[in-house]
Amino acid sequence: MFETIQKLAPDPILGLTAAYEQDSNPRKIDLGAGVYKDESGVTPIFEAVKMAEDLWHQRENSKVYIAQAGYPECNSAMLAHMFGAEHPALKAGRLRSVLTPGGCGAVRLGAELINRARPGGTIWVSSPTWANHVPLLSNAGLKIREYPYYDGKSHAIDFEAMLAALEKVPAEDAVLLHGCCHNPTGADLSREQWDAVTETAVRRGFLPFIDVAYHGLGDGLDEDAYGPRHMAEKVNELVVAYSCSKNFGLYRERAGAVMVMGRDATAADAGLSHLVNIARGIYSMAPAHGAAIVKLILNDPALYQVWVNELNAMRERINRLRALLADTLARKNAPVDFSFIRQQRGLFSLLGLDKAQVQRLREEFSIYMVDSSRVNIAGISPKNVDYLADSIIAVL
């Protein structure tokens, strides 16, 4: 059976972690996979998660299957968390949620739902987008096209080109947007730009599909939710993929949700019925443990506060590290202006290096980043920033 298949190259992002771990250089730096790390390079478990797990350990009295869509109290809490409890679409009963194995599970189910409605349909993704969007969307059967997004020369969004491309997207297509903390560029739409994209979506009639993988890690929980909340007020239909990997630190637990907004409650129910049916045909039903933790945190005001404080501290640290790297490079007279790193948001920025420079950093300096020169800002620390800046300057 398997004589015909050949060994594949490692995953362009996840493969870096394995390579980094095998490197014996004591100065090595891992700026690869997008996971938060503290000063000592550890990805910590949130205190709020530990507290919720202790509670859950006492409360859980069975391992029998949960509802197909996952815990109802988790789905409702996540919808309120994403859109705001008073959101008109929520009040009108137009939103449904299905808990998924992480944000990837959510993107895949959302893509499968679009493919059910429009087999072999087209989804537009930003250029560039997260590398794994491509297999997640195309393996569901969708065709992928790109809209211009980031201009590598100015290190900013080319909004004019983006909007001009969206103006031509047919009504039957879907458009993938990043809710906040754009991966890999760190360049986010402003409120005015979200308003303009929303206006285009309404006029053109395409389906917005928003990937929210870093909620709270950009400017704050409400600030980062502006795009999805605004769109949900204006468009008829919407899909959101939500990840709890980064903002709850639940990476390996695979917690997330796919949310669908229909024209009315009947349409939303139809969407929900397909989502659970699609999941049933792939992995059967929603995973429980990570979702139980999220459910407890979102529904308990004291736990919620502990979590928010931790999330705020993480975000503030990421933004301090952004400033630290930009300042260090400037202080060392880097021949390139890296001040854009300070302005961008979330875990990622593109340094603007070419593949050969990225390779030199890996091979000569043991500094690991994605080939596109995407760096995980959380991998920087006051201890390694000088070595990092010197090494970047050395390959420029």
Q: Kindly list the catalytic residues.
A: 130, 211, 246
Closest CA relative to residue 375, chosen from 357, 364, 383, 134: 357
CA-based R_g, the chain, Å:
21
> Per DSSP, which regions of 172-327 are E strands?
174-178, 207-212, 238-243, 256-261
Q: By Cβ distance, which residue is nearest to ligand LMR?
A: 34
Binding residue for ligand LMR, selected from 43, 127, 132, 357, defined by CB under 6 A:
132
278 near ligand LMR (CB under 6 A): no
Q: Which is nearer to ligand LMR, 165 or 347 (CB)?
A: 347
Please state, in angstroms and rounded to a whole number, the distance separating the CA atoms of residues 239 and 233: 13
372 near ligand LMR (CB under 6 A): no
128 near ligand LMR (CB under 6 A): no
- At its nearest, how many Å lie between ligand LMR and the CB of residue 380? 15
Closest CA relative to residue 370, chosen from 354, 383, 388, 384: 354
Binding residue for ligand LMR, selected from 36, 46, 83, 130, defined by CB under 6 A:
130
Binding residue for ligand LMR, selected from 31, 34, 169, 232, defined by CB under 6 A:
34
Closest CA relative to residue 70, chosen from 229, 242, 210, 315: 242
How many C-beta atoms surround the C-beta of residue 22 within 10 A? Answer: 7
Binding pattern to ligand LMR, positions 135-174, x when CB under 6 A? ----------------------------------------
- At its nearest, how many Å lie between ligand LMR and the CB of residue 104? 7
Q: Which is nearer to ligand LMR, 30 or 158 (CB)?
A: 30
Please state, in angstroms and rounded to a whole number, the distance separating the CA atoms of residues 256 and 98: 9
In this structure, which amino acid lies at residue 85?
A
43 near ligand LMR (CB under 6 A): no
Structure tokens at 362: 């890996």
Residues at the interface with ligand LMR (CB under 6 A): 13, 33-34, 130, 132, 183
